Structure 1
Amino acid sequence: MEPNARRLWKLLEPIHAVGYFSPEPIALLKETGYRGYWMGYFAARSAPLGAVPAEVVHAVFYNFAFSHVSRALPDAWTFAPPEAAHDARRSGAVAALRRHLGDLADSEDLARAASLASRAALGAPMEGRALYAALRSLPAADDPLTLLWDAATLLREHRGDGHVATLLAAGIGGRESHVFHAVATGASPSVYATSRNIHETEWDSLVSGLRSRGLVTDDGGSLTDAGRETKAGIESTTDALAATAYAVLEPDEIDELITLLRPLTKAVVASGEIPGQSPMGLNLDELER
């Protein structure tokens, strides 16, 4: 069975991801003044850090090209401040969740899930986790639906900060991490051309670098034994670091949270608005269990 930290990531990630993909937050970020999807994305996700320069966001996010980040920042802050970006994404995400969840949005089960997830999110260790800590410094929500999105976002970035540290320790660069994951899972390079601006020339160069270190096969189509060992170690350490957030919950509370999240996540995934669930290994049938 998968570790609980990974199971919870799969359940919480779609709830968090409405802030990127649903029309409500995208529209609100545009109304706030940001020019284009990517300016809104970088402004909203980095907003808890304050009006920091592109160099800081590039470092913290880890896997975007600096040229991509610097096209959005710091220019974004001339259109609207970080607080406005965060509020737009948060308000839009909550509106999207309400639309996806229907009556579930006001249910006792959601309120209980939000309470449990928030305890974990607010009790996680902050050391070495810059983006999580910045989010953690913001005021807590009062209503359960916003509390759930906040908790999902905190736990997502807590895991992400730990994942970045693990990649760095394993010698896998930010751009390399996309190629390494794609080779391991069979994902198409076209996914990353769209989502991370990795086009053919850069992709081939990144594959070559991984090949030279013995992590991918000569044809670049699969991981070597050393590559699989490295990949497994990264995932295992990421799970272990993420699990520290759930230490405040009793084992039965973790089981309860998993059970309560399943129908909520299923409703979000069923909307079809959140792309890329298959790389996470999540499907609607799994959510029945």
Structure 2
Amino acid sequence: MDPNARRLWKLLEPIHAVGYFSPEPIALLKEAGYRGYWMGYFAARSAPLGAVPAEVVHAVFYNFAFSHVSRALPDAWTYAPPEAAHEARRSGAVAALHRHLGPLASSDDLARAASLASRAALGAPMEGRTLYAALRSLPVPTDPVDLLWHAATLLREHRGDGHVATLLTAGIGGRESHVFHALANGTSPSVYATSRNIHEAEWASLVSGLRSRGLVTDDGQSLTDLGRETKTTIESTTDALAATAYATLEPGEVDDLITLLRPLTKAVVTSGEIPHQSPMGLDLDEVG
């Protein structure tokens, strides 16, 4: 595994995630007209793609049930266009970051972190990375806090697009990926019942499918040796693909970015607004 790519993911994910969990973007998405949290989520995250149908978002996001996506899209676009959804998430996320960061928001260290992260984000390869490429087409902010969130979001979705490609290659379906991760890391199924609508019957069916391929033990409680080997390969390949974004930075600049991000991420995490166990597999207790 590329250690720097993994460290930077852990540091950038909370900065990006204020766009989902902080009250400011949630309130602005509601004000824009979107009905309920999930309509706002799907509208805002998919907004850079344009007013695409549920089928496209289901394919790109990979791990949501189609029934979940189709309850929000394309209906969301009858309330407000994609541009409104993106602006609500962006401006809400920036406001939340200002609140979390306090004096750090105007510091030279934040401006330097934003500059380095943006160079990496804008220099990453686009090929095969649909959601990243859509975000890459948007205007680049000039305000440092805005730029930091923009860069964190680009780098997060760049990694996510690579992760989806890796899961496909490994033969792990989108819904299966949640169960696969949970069994590898001891994450409670309740995390996914809330965040991905995976309830008991579907969970059992997904476990059964993984078990039939020799990836899960007979009792359905953990991964087999083959499962653990597959999981390691997925994570190391995801890290390697994500690391291509940082090739535009010098090694010393990558180290600087890690150092500069630590106090910023800590300020966001200690707010308590970001869930400590992410459905993407990030344990925020590890951020330091």
Q: Per the shorter chain, which TM-score range? A: over 0.9
1:114 aligns to what? 114
Secondary structure, in 3 states, of the residue corresponding to 2:227? helix
**2:12–2:265 CA contact under 8 A, matched in 1:** yes
Shift of 1:2: 6.0
Shift of 1:241: 0.2
Within 2, Cα distance between the matches of 1:180 and 1:277?
A: 15
**2:18–2:96 CA contact under 8 A, matched in 1:** yes
1:269 aligns to what? 269
2:255 aligns to what? 255
Shift of 1:263: 0.1
Residues 101-143 of structure 1 show CA distances to partners (whole Å, capped at 9, x for unaligned) of 0000010000000000000000000000000000000000010
The verdict on how the C-alpha distance between 1:259 and 1:277 changes in structure 2, with shifts beyond 3 A counting, is farther
2:149 aligns to what? 149
**2:117–2:148 CA contact under 8 A, matched in 1:** yes
Residues 40-88 of structure 1 show CA distances to partners (whole Å, capped at 9, x for unaligned) of 0000000000000000000000000000000000000000000000000
Shift of 1:283: 2.5
Secondary structure, in 3 states, of the residue corresponding to 2:219? coil
1:189 aligns to what? 189
Residues 233-260 of structure 1 show CA distances to partners (whole Å, capped at 9, x for unaligned) of 0000000000000000000000000000
1:221 aligns to what? 221
1:124-143 alignment runs, 5 A limit: 124-143=124-143
Within 2, Cα distance between the matches of 1:73 and 1:276?
A: 28
Counterpart check, 1:98 vs 2:91: no
Within 2, Cα distance between the matches of 1:58 and 1:81?
A: 19
Within 1, Cα distance between the matches of 2:53 and 2:206?
A: 26
1:72 aligns to what? 72
User: What stretches of structure 1 of length at least 5 have no aligned partner?
Assistant: none
Shift of 1:3: 1.1
**2:215–2:225 CA contact under 8 A, matched in 1:** yes
1:233 aligns to what? 233
Please give the root-mean-square deviation of Cα atoms over the aligned residues, in Å.
1.1
1:165-184 alignment runs, 5 A limit: 165-184=165-184
User: What stretches of structure 2 of length at least 5 have no aligned partner?
Assistant: none
Shift of 1:282: 3.6
Structure 2 counterpart of 1:172, which letter?
A: I
Secondary structure, in 3 states, of the residue corresponding to 2:285? coil
**2:2–2:239 CA contact under 8 A, matched in 1:** no
